[in-house]
């Protein structure tokens, strides 16, 4: 006769942790992206997930069952032992946890730690101490990219400002010694450099709006074909030969609701790039296309016959401050173009055009406001 013998309850750390709360939801601690360490009411580690192993480089078998201060010997940035300092089990009974803090693991590795004290009742003894650990690399990367942005901006602003300062100082000190032509030349340089600074600042403001998701799109019906025409007229007026441009506009374009100023900015940047960095004929094509999810949309393609973008750099053209050649400007134009197109719900790609040069193609969805749908 077989009688089911009940096995003694497993009290091994990991299982204890899994058989408790989280399991009710079907969540395995090892599935969590952040390090998770749980200690019981006596301060011994009963859960140490895979991410915690990766962050601390302490093995699960070593950590489980150890007192918290040995499994996770954290120190603050002044070298004080964090568990002694915060004393979760002996400290104030009203505390509910510790906010996220940057602490150090042995060997000086940084880790972001936050803790939650789970109590029987609001001011009762601690039943569980739940600690989450997070690596600092991602945060460091964004900090580094901000620092780089500031350094690049300072550098970009310095050279035109140095020239403005140099020419104005020279003119003020030696006004009588220069001929009218010389003075005019210097003032023209000052004017161009001041324009560069203004443009750079406008670009930086756009970038900060794009990066923080605050770029506002004020939609209204836009006639892209007319906008393309205006831009080309402006290039011709400023001295480009009309033969340089070829416009192909297909009939029966779908409606387009977009921010006309921002679409102007996109067209302006792409055309300026094609004229400045490309060569030969610049072809602009406007045609219907299907935007994401089969929605109707308008596709604009700008291609030229210049050297194009090298294959290995195509992934980088839309990043900020990337410029391919010495002739480049600040390298912000395409980053902003992409930000604007995406803020409209569109997409932009780069490739090689039929004439061998660069080909930029963006697709904007109709974007009709909800009250028209
Ligand atoms: N049509 C093109 N043909 C060849 N290279 C191009 C073309 N368009 C862009 N590029 C390359 O991509 C780089 C980045 O372009 P982007 O518009 O972002 O910056 P930029 O034109 O250098 O400066 P900015 O637009 O900020 O004044 C350019 O420096 C250039 O090397
Ligand atoms: Mg540009």
For residue range 232-246, what is the model confidence (pLDDT) as tens digits?
999 999 899 999 999
**For residue 113, what are the β-bridge partners?**
101, 133
For residue range 142-155, what is the model confidence (pLDDT) as tens digits?
888 888 888 888 88
Q: Which domains does the chain have, with CATH numbers?
A: 13-135 (3.30.450.20), 139-211 (1.10.287.130), 220-372 (3.30.565.10)
CA of 310 to the centre of ligand 1 (A): 12
pTM to 2 decimal places? 0.70
Side-chain half-sphere CA neighbours of 94 within 13 A? 0
CA of 304 to the centre of ligand 2 (A): 14
Question: Is the CB–ligand 1 distance for residue 326 below 6 Å?
Answer: no
Nearest alpha carbon to residue 360 among 304, 276, 292, 291: 304
For residue range 32-63, what is the model confidence (pLDDT) as tens digits?
999 999 999 999 999 999 999 999 999 999 99
Q: Give yes or no for a contact between 259 and 219, defined as CB atoms under 8 angstroms apart.
A: yes
Alpha-carbon span 245 to 268, nearest angstrom: 14
Question: Is the CB–ligand 1 distance for residue 321 below 6 Å?
Answer: no
Q: What is the pLDDT of residue 15?
A: 40
For 196, the 3-state DSSP assignment is: helix
Question: Is the CB–ligand 1 distance for residue 306 below 6 Å?
Answer: yes
Closest-CA residue, ligand 1 atom 27, reads 329
pLDDT per residue as tens, the chain (373 positions): 343 333 443 344 444 444 444 456 678 999 999 999 999 999 999 999 999 999 999 999 999 999 999 999 999 989 899 999 999 999 888 999 999 999 999 888 899 999 999 998 888 999 999 999 998 888 888 888 888 888 888 888 888 999 999 999 999 999 999 999 999 999 999 999 999 899 889 888 998 899 888 899 999 999 999 999 999 999 999 899 999 999 999 988 999 999 999 999 999 999 999 999 999 999 999 999 987 777 899 999 999 999 999 999 999 999 988 888 776 678 889 999 999 999 999 999 999 999 899 999 999 999 988 887 6
Pick the atom of ligand 1 nearest to 302's CA.
1
CA of 272 to the centre of ligand 1 (A): 9
Pick the atom of ligand 1 nearest to 360's CA.
1
Q: What is the pLDDT of residue 146?
A: 83
Q: What is the pLDDT of residue 142?
A: 85
Question: Is the CB–ligand 1 distance for residue 330 below 6 Å?
Answer: yes
E strand or H helix that includes residue 202: helix 180-211
Q: What is the pLDDT of residue 152?
A: 83
CA of 11 to the centre of ligand 1 (A): 64
Closest-CA residue, ligand 1 atom 6, reads 277
Pick the atom of ligand 1 nearest to 320's CA.
18
Nearest alpha carbon to residue 344 among 224, 228, 232: 224
Question: Is the CB–ligand 1 distance for residue 277 below 6 Å?
Answer: yes
Q: Give yes or no for a contact between 82 and 106, defined as CB atoms under 8 angstroms apart.
A: no
E strand or H helix that includes residue 131: strand 126-135
Question: Is the CB–ligand 1 distance for residue 327 below 6 Å?
Answer: no
Question: Is the CB–ligand 1 distance for residue 353 below 6 Å?
Answer: no
Angle (deg, nearest 10), helices 333-343 and 180-211: 40
DSSP strand pairing (282-290 vs 245-249): parallel
Structure tokens at 266: 């996109």
Q: Which residues surround ligand 2, an ion (CB under 5 A)?
A: 273, 333
Give the ligand whose atoms come closest to the C-alpha of residue 336.
1
């Amino acid at each position: 006769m077989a009688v089911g013998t009940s096995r003694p309850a497993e009290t091994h750390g990991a299982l204890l942790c899994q058989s408790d709360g989280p399991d009710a939801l079907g969540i395995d601690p090892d599935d969590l992206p952040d390090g998770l360490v749980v200690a019981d009411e006596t301060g011994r580690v009963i859960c140490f997930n895979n991410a915690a192993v990766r962050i601390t480089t302490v093995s699960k078998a070593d950590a489980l069952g150890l007192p918290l201060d040995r499994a996770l010997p954290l120190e603050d940035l002044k070298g004080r032992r964090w568990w002694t300092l915060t004393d979760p089990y002996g400290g104030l009974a009203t505390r509910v946890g510790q906010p996220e803090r940057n602490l150090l693991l042995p060997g000086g590795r940084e880790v972001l730690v936050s803790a939650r004290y789970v109590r029987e009742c609001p001011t009762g003894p601690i039943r569980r101490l739940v600690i989450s650990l997070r690596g600092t690399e991602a945060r460091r990367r964004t900090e580094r990219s901000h620092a780089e942005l500031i350094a690049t901006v300072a550098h970009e602003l310095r050279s035109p400002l140095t020239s403005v300062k140099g020419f104005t100082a020279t003119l003020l000190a030696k006004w009588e010694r220069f001929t009218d032509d010389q003075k005019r030349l210097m003032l023209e340089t000052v004017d161009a450099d001041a324009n560069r600074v203004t443009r750079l600042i406008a670009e930086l403001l756009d970038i900060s709006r794009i990066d923080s998701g605050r770029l506002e799109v004020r939609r209204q019906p836009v006639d892209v074909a007319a906008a393309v025409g205006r831009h080309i007229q402006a290039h011709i007026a400023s001295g480009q030969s009309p033969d340089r441009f070829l416009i192909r506009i297909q009939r029966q374009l779908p409606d387009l609701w977009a921010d006309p100023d921002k679409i102007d900015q996109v067209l302006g940047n792409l055309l300026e790039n094609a004229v400045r960095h490309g060569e030969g004929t610049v072809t602009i094509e406007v045609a219907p296309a299907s935007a994401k999810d089969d929605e109707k949309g308008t596709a604009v393609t700008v291609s030229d016959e210049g050297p194009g973008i090298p294959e290995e750099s195509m992934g980088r053209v839309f990043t900020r401050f990337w410029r391919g050649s010495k002739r480049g400007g600040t390298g912000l134009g395409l980053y902003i173009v992409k930000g604007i197109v995406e803020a409209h719900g569109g997409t932009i790609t780069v490739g090689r055009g039929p004439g061998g040069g660069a080909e930029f193609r963006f697709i904007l969805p109709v974007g009709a406001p909800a009250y028209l749908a």
